[in-house]
Chain A
Amino acid sequence: MLVQQLANGLFLGAVYALFAIGYTLIFGVLDILNLAHAAIFMLAAFVALSLVGFGFPLVLAVALALVFAGLLGVLLDRIAFAPLRRRNAGTLVPLISSIGAAIVMQGIARGVWGPDEHRFPSNGLSTAEFHLGSLSVGALDLIILAVALALMGILSYVMRSTALGRSIRAVAEDRVAAALLGIDIERTIALTFFIASALGGAAGILIGLQYNSVSLEMGARIELKGLAIIILGGMGSVTGAVIGAFILGAVETLSVAYVSSSYRDAIAFGVMFLILVLRPAGLLGKRALRAA
């Protein structure tokens, strides 16, 4: 029973991690809270769904939807954030413009796909299950976990060992100094948005597949949990977001099994509130709490 719950927590945590990495990357680089991240998460799932509906093979549909999500992120930055950056508008105004962008995206999704819940065509999905003692694991869950871990591995490689990763870390550390060193700030920011949004889109597609459900509300459900995760891990820390996501995934599945499902989400937000009050830098965040 415990092993089963931990396995379920692992699958949930992996998808949470993909979502939260995108959130925290953008905060780390730009110091803004991008509340349109959840809208991209949802739109990517819808696009993958429609591509499958048009007859694309699932793998190709997912790949195209990831590229779509990444490009949407770049567009979001150009429209909602870049003009504010030039104006030095601080951190609160971009938060509000991201809400505006999220409302627009939500409206477009409602117009195109309607208010109802959608399902992937059943023939595309594997329903095989593996049994190991009392543990039963779906093949689809394993694929999702593998894809999530692979994407995290790629991100980790890009961040640590490529010129792009070094640029992103430099811009996050000190934008002015990075510019003086000849780093193209706008290009780095655009690529950060591409990566962050593609990962958020991946989370949306994988959750859509995992629960076989894509709906307008799916973004709102994960948006605030993502906040709890990046606070737990430390705002701006990618490793922290991954650890925070797996902790939340485990806590959620265990609390449903052993405590009660009704207060499940209250635990996440209670922990988030306590961390903000007691240790605002989170588990791994190194930044001091900054003033408004």
Chain B
Amino acid sequence: MLEFLAHHSKLIDQIGINALLALSLSISLRAGSLALAQAAFMGIAAYVSSIGAVRLGWNLPLAGLAGALAAALVAALLALPIGRLRGVFLAIATIGFGEIARIIEINWPITGGAEGFSGIPNDANTLWIYGTLALAGAALALFGRTKLALAVAATREDENAARGVGIDVAAVRMGTLVAGAVLAGFAGTLYAHANFFITPGDFGFSRMEQVLVMCVIGGVTSSLGAVVGAVLMTALPELVRFLQDYREVSSGAILLGIILFAPSGIAGLWRRFS
């Protein structure tokens, strides 16, 4: 077991970071808004924390907090113009925002451009990653017991009815976007400090798609589902190595299968059979 863990430590770290990202997206989805900016928030925090660590000598906790704060600030600013958008239009606007963020990362001299930013201290070990994940999971579980969680669910189920009972829908949407950005920000810092090298391409639309796929496979609004989806979709390419160049087909086929035959994801299957 220990030998297995040591051999696959890179993969295990990757799973933890992806689980954090899937959790962060599930927060927005809980309020029913398909805001697809997680990869951008992750990238913003990754660059802020990495540049701080390399240029200013920040340690990991300080870099992580600064990165999450930067992502949260950007999310709060982003929430204002996109507040009126819903559904596919919200998805497209946030995808566009993500592309703009990526292009800025490519062109701003301080980021090292398209070749990437290197020399990041390699101090985000498995303990840090899973500690953060556990704290995030616990925070979400506690939040689930509060009245605020009901307001979030009400916003998802019927926005007008939620407004009718006095819920500030705009505040709920902004709050979930910012909370998601904080988690995505931690994931970005951990990613950068576990790989000691980042490029703008790490935080593009394909990353966003991966995170969305993890969330949907697990079951859109369930924390545990998001984590299970992240574990499955991160480990799957390793498990199906024998398919060689056709490996991607299995991820796509599983996603299609879940959408068509188990619309509530793995979490929904679990509830149905237990």
Contact = CB atoms under 8 A, between A and B. Distances in A.
Interface of A: 31-33, 79-80, 83-84, 87, 89, 91-93, 95-97, 99-108, 110-111, 114-115, 220, 223-224, 227-228, 231, 235, 262-263, 265-266, 269-270, 272-273, 276-277, 280, 289-292
B252 A289 contact: no
A83 B249 CA distance: 20
Contacts, number: 147
A223 B92 CA distance: 12
Interface stretch (B81-89, B142-150, B177-185): B81-89
Nearest to B106: A262
B245 A231 contact: no
Contact of A92 (B34, B93, B104, B205): B34
Given A96-B259, A266-B100, A290-B87, A277 B82 contact: yes
Given A101-B256, A227-B92, A272-B96, A290 B86 contact: yes
Contact of A227 (B86, B95, B159, B247): B95
Interface of B: 32-34, 81-82, 84-93, 95-97, 99-100, 103-104, 106-107, 159, 205-206, 209, 212-213, 216, 244-253, 255-256, 259-260, 263
B92 A96 contact: no
Nearest to B251: A103
Given A83-B260, A100-B253, 12 more contacts: A84-B260, A95-B91, A103-B252, A104-B256, A110-B248, A231-B92, A265-B99, A276-B85, A277-B82, A280-B85, A289-B84, A290-B87
A97 B265 CA distance: 13
Nearest to A83: B260
B246 A108 contact: yes
A273 B91 CA distance: 11
A110 B82 contact: no
Residue from B86, B87, B246 with most neighbouring chain A CB atoms (10 Å): B87
Nearest to B213: A99
A contacts with B: majority SS:
helix
Nearest to A270: B100
Contacts of B246: 107-108, 110-111
A100 B81 contact: no
14 contacts: A80-B256, A80-B259, A87-B263, A101-B252, A103-B249, A105-B252, A107-B251, A110-B248, A227-B92, A276-B96, A277-B93, A280-B85, A289-B89, A291-B159
A91 B88 CA distance: 7
Contacts of B250: 107
A273 B34 contact: no
Given A92-B34, A96-B212, A111-B246, A104 B92 contact: no
Given A104-B256, A111-B246, A269 B91 contact: no
Contacts of A114: 245
B206 A273 contact: no
A107 B247 CA distance: 7
